[in-house]
Each structure stands twice: as C-alpha cells, then as structure tokens.
Amino acid sequence: MTRQPIVARRAEELLGVAVAATAPVAGGDVATATRIRTATGLVALMKTRPHAPSGFFESEATGLRWLAEATAAGGVAVPELLGAAEDCVILRWIEPGRPTTDAAAAFGRELAATHAAGAPGFGWDHDGFIASLPLPHRPLPTWAEFYAARRVLPYLRLARERGAITAGQQVVIERLVARLPDLVPEEPPARVHGDLWNGNVLWGHDGRTYVIDPAAHGGHREVDLAMLSLFGLPHLARVLAAYQEAAPLAPGFEERVPLHQIHPLLVHACLFGGGYGARAADCAVRYL
C-alpha cells in the first residue's frame, strides 16, 4: 500500500487518527473505493465521489444505520460505519471469504429477521439514491401504490426519454401497473435493503455475510429476494430455503419474482440501455 495524500488527509479528519497507507479498490461504478490502514492498525474502506449529489453519502450512512439496528436482533450484518460526510463514507474493512452453504443458510435467516424488524410505512422520510439515480421515497398507503408511483413509473418515463424502451414496451408496463393491487399480497412494511443484488452481498472471511450500498426503505420483502434472483447469488436456493423456514412467504412467491424485478431492470435500462427495457417488458407481459 502507498499513500494518497488527499484521501489520507480526509480520512484522518473524520477518523481522528493518522493514515499510514492507502490502496485503490476495484469494482466501484458509482464511487471511488480506497482501502486505508491507520497508524493504529485499523483497516477501512473509504468511498468518495467528486461532486456527489447533495445527500448522496448521508443517505447511504442513514440506510446502514437503520439496517444495523436490526442486526442486534439477529438481522443481516452491515459493515461498521466509521465516518460519514457530504463527500464520503468510511466503513470498517470486511476481509473477503468464500461463500458456503452454511453462510448462505445463516444469511437467509438473518435477512428474514431484518425484514421482520419492520418500518413505519411504505417509503422513507427522505429521498435516496439507487446507483447514481435519485430514488423517490415519499410514503404511500399500500405497497401496490408505492411500487407503481415510486419505483416503476418514474424509471419507465426516464427510460423512454433516454430511448432505452420503446413506446410499445412502455404501454405493456403501464398496463401491468394498473393490475398491481390484484397481484401483490398485502403485508406490513418490511425493513428492506432495496438494492440487494449479488454485488452488494459480501461473504466475509469470518464466515458472516454482510450487505452494503443500501437503498433502504420500508417496502415489500419480496423485492430483496427478487433482486437476489435477478443477477444470481452463490447458494441462492439455500438462502431462499432458510428464509422460508424462518419467515414463510405468501403462496405464489416464485410467480411474483419477475414482477418485483421490473424496477431494477428499468433502473438498468436508464443507466445502461441495452436490452434491459425489453426484459422489463417481458416480465410485465407475464401478468397481462
């Protein structure tokens, strides 16, 4: 590890201890990640982003704290938040390990406990972000209303504006939105991660599984499980089986997985284009 003076000085301001070395960490698409080691031996991850939108890192820090409240009651672990400011967050470093079936089963049970910790309602008291896009959180009375107005329709419009979805595909998804109250089982608001794809699940060397980069809010617990299924997760079947044992899902969960994948697919359509818009429409047409 060498020492990047600008990053090191900012970390020292927040941590109150000298930084001995820094090293870049690969993989960050939205923020720049740097591994830091302090003079006291603490190893941490610092995330920075030039000209970050107002509230960008504060939203992440708030989500981590909220999820950490559930950890104490058996919920899924999050890295310890060591510092947060307008321009960065600093988290305790999680040494990577290998995914195992035992860790996967524990993760399933812990995720169920996090969801069971609940939320005041569907939404959050301030808006957030998903990747680099704003994420509206203003509460609505039911999940069907919230999913339509805060998750599907804003990104459907943006995807259409960016040419990532056709007019015909837009019509298909809008028709699906009208049917949501008949398709989604009513449940109390769950404490959801909100962006739980494979890249936001860390298998620690200590045998624990951690989640990072939340878009946390009060939502339907099926959204986290559908997101895990979208891009694949090691030992996913074991995770889902353990989750079901701890907190059985409403009948027909498997048939609703594509329904709750429409939102992340539209987010990807907005960010990357490609075939994500068509995939979202393909998910929607199953329910028409």
Domain chopping of the chain, boundaries: 5-92, 101-285
Q: Answer yes or no: pTM beyond 0.75.
A: yes
* Per-residue pLDDT, 29: 72
* Per-residue pLDDT, 147: 98
Counting beta carbons within 10 angstroms of the beta carbon of residue 252, is it exposed (0 to 12), middle (13 to 18) or buried (19 or more)?
exposed
In this predicted model, what pLDDT tens digit does every residue of 220-236 receive, in sequence order? 999 999 999 998 999 99
In this predicted model, what pLDDT tens digit does every residue of 27-73 receive, in sequence order? 767 889 999 999 999 999 999 988 899 999 999 999 999 999 999 99
Do the Cβ atoms of 71 and 79 come closer than 8 Å? no
In this predicted model, what pLDDT tens digit does every residue of 167-178 receive, in sequence order? 999 999 999 999
Positions annotated as catalytic residues are 195
CATH superfamily of 101-285: Aminoglycoside phosphotransferase (APH), C-terminal lobe (3.90.1200.10)
CATH architecture for residues 5-92: 2-Layer Sandwich (3.30)
DSSP letters, 70-94, are HHTTT--B-PPEEEEETTEEEEE--
Residue 11 predicted with pLDDT over 70 = yes
3-state secondary structure (DSSP) of residue 202: strand
